[in-house]
């Protein structure tokens, strides 16, 4: 098929590259000229495992193209995907200005019947909104091309997005016609050779499914963090509690790992957007509000532990930080737990020395730009040299089995604050470390 993807952010780029990998002719369109020129040369603006190799392969095979002019590809395409950003507004709602702008542009440029697919994460009712925006523009032109807006939310995990797209656990499609379901099924069939995981529904249910899925996962994270905090108070070990409840197949182990709170581009934004949607209909989503509140508080837990250990005097203390990204295998720092922690430590007078395999450039150029009190080093062991404490905030693989004996010799004090509960407390005690976890007294 011939496909146009509007937007070359995280979702749009992964979607376009993966469709091209299956032999489709894909044109990705973006108004950012500098980004498009880099993409044409094989340079990608994000770190995502396997994406660069696949992009280069399809550029060379002439399956993948990048343009700034939508009119060049729109009317040659079988399907047009909208994959522009929907940032969180001041009131917590999803900001749909970019989606509306693209819908208007499609209505202004289209010269034939089109299937338009919402790939952006959008609130319930957006498919109908896009449909009306396109039809309004067509009416201005006094033309009557047929268009149907389809909902096809993404379920990509950052760090595993390519694998998730190529082998999806489900493909959710919301539409109103058999023709729409048919073309979407044909498009996704190569990704479901072993098992057809295509789930058809109405557009409102499809849009709601995306928000409900992320809200459920965020709820599990906040729940286990709440349990962790209670465990510390009563003297229980949340790691043992997690194993106990996770063995129940109705609960499972996924997303019940205690830590310093969730972050990223999806969970925080989507939970708040769903809360706003509920309130727009005069319903107070008490569980979702609690999920968000617990997560915000959880991001303060590590800082409080560190401050307490040093008797409320962090001035001049050197704190090594392993990890900056909100999760491993990405350079994304949006809503990362490292952000409030670093800013808190610096405010208290601490000296932060940070290392992350991928996110240091993002931290330096954006999140901590101009921030005094933080420096960056080239490897994990350089970060801990003469440190008064180490804080693990992102569970990259290279942090899983470090040489603790070497670390003890290198550090000023043998102290570890583990924001992801990665290490063996007994092993560290034998070596002589003071070791602090989430949810363990």
Helix (H) or strand (E) holding 10: helix 10-21
pLDDT at 93 exceeding the cut of 90: no
State the average pLDDT over residues 62-75: 95
Which residue blocks in 247-370 are alpha helix, DSSP H? 267-280, 286-298, 301-309, 338-347, 360-362
The residues annotated with a catalytic role in the active site are: 266
pLDDT value for 370:
95
pTM over 0.85: yes
Contact 363, 339 (CB under 8 A): no
Handedness of CA 78, 161, 195, 124 (dihedral sign): negative
Q: Reduced to 3 DSSP states, what percent helix, strand and coil does the chain have, rounded to the nearest 5?
A: 45, 15, 40
Of all residues in the chain, what percent carry a pLDDT higher than 90?
A: 95
Q: Is the pLDDT of residue 101 over 90?
A: yes
Report pLDDT for 94: 86
Q: What is the rounded distance in angstroms from the CA atom of residue 354 to the CA atom of residue 192? A: 42
Under a CB-based contact definition with an 8 Å cutoff, are residues 100 and 65 in contact?
Answer: no
pLDDT at 72: 87
pLDDT of residue 258: 97
On average, the pLDDT of the chain sits at 96
- Cβ atoms within 10 Å of 138's Cβ, excluding its own: 18
Which two three-digit tokens encode residue 200? 């058809």
Q: Give dist(CA 212, CA 94) in Å, integer.
A: 15
Per residue in 177-230, pLDDT tens?
Answer: 999 999 999 999 999 988 899 999 999 999 999 999 999 999 999 999 999 999
- pLDDT at 325 (0 to 100): 97
pLDDT digits (tens, 9 = 90+) for 334-384: 999 999 999 999 999 999 999 999 999 999 999 999 999 999 999 999 999
């Amino acid at each position: 098929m011939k496909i146009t993807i509007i937007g070359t952010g995280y979702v749009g780029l992964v979607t376009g590259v993966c469709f091209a990998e299956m032999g489709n002719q894909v044109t990705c369109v973006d108004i950012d000229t500098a980004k498009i020129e880099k993409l044409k040369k094989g340079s990608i603006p994000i770190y995502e495992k396997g994406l660069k190799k696949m992009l280069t392969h399809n550029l060379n095979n002439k399956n993948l193209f990048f343009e700034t002019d939508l009119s060049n590809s729109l009317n040659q395409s079988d399907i047009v995907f909208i994959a522009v950003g929907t940032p969180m507004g001041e009131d917590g709602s999803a900001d749909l200005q970019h989606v509306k702008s693209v819908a208007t542009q499609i209505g202004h440029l289209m010269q034939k019947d089109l299937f338009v697919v919402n790939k952006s994460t959008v609130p319930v009712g957006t498919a109908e909104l896009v449909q009306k925006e396109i039809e309004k523009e067509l009416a201005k032109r006094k033309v009557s091309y047929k268009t149907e807006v389809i909902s096809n939310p993404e379920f990509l995990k950052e760090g595993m997005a390519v694998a998730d797209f190529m082998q999806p656990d489900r493909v959710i499609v919301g539409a109103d016609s058999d023709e729409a379901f048919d073309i979407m099924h044909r498009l996704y069939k190569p990704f479901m050779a072993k098992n057809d995981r295509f789930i058809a529904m109405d557009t409102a249910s499809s849009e709601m499914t995306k928000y409900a899925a992320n809200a459920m996962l965020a709820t599990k994270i906040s729940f286990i963090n709440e349990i962790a905090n209670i465990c510390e108070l009563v003297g229980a070990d949340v790691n043992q509690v997690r194993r106990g409840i996770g063995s129940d197949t109705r609960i499972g182990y996924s997303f019940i790992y205690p830590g310093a709170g969730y972050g990223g581009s999806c969970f925080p934004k989507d939970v708040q957007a769903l809360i706003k949607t509920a309130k727009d209909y005069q319903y107070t989503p008490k569980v979702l509000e609690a999920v968000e509140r617990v997560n915000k508080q959880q991001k303060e837990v590590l800082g409080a532990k560190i401050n307490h250990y040093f008797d409320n005097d962090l001035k001049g203390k050197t704190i090594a930080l392993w990890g900056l990204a909100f999760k491993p295998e990405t350079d994304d720092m949006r809503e990362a737990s490292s952000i409030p922690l670093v800013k808190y430590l610096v405010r208290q007078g601490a000296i932060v020395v940070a290392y992350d395999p991928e996110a240091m450039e993002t931290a330096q150029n954006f999140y901590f730009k101009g921030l005094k009190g933080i420096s960056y080093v080239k490897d994990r062991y350089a970060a801990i040299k003469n440190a008064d404490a180490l804080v693990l905030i992102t569970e990259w693989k290279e942090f899983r089995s470090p040489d603790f004996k070497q670390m003890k010799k290198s550090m000023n004090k043998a102290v570890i604050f583990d924001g992801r509960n990665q290490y063996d407390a007994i092993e560290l005690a034998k070596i002589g470390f003071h070791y602090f976890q989430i949810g363990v007294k």
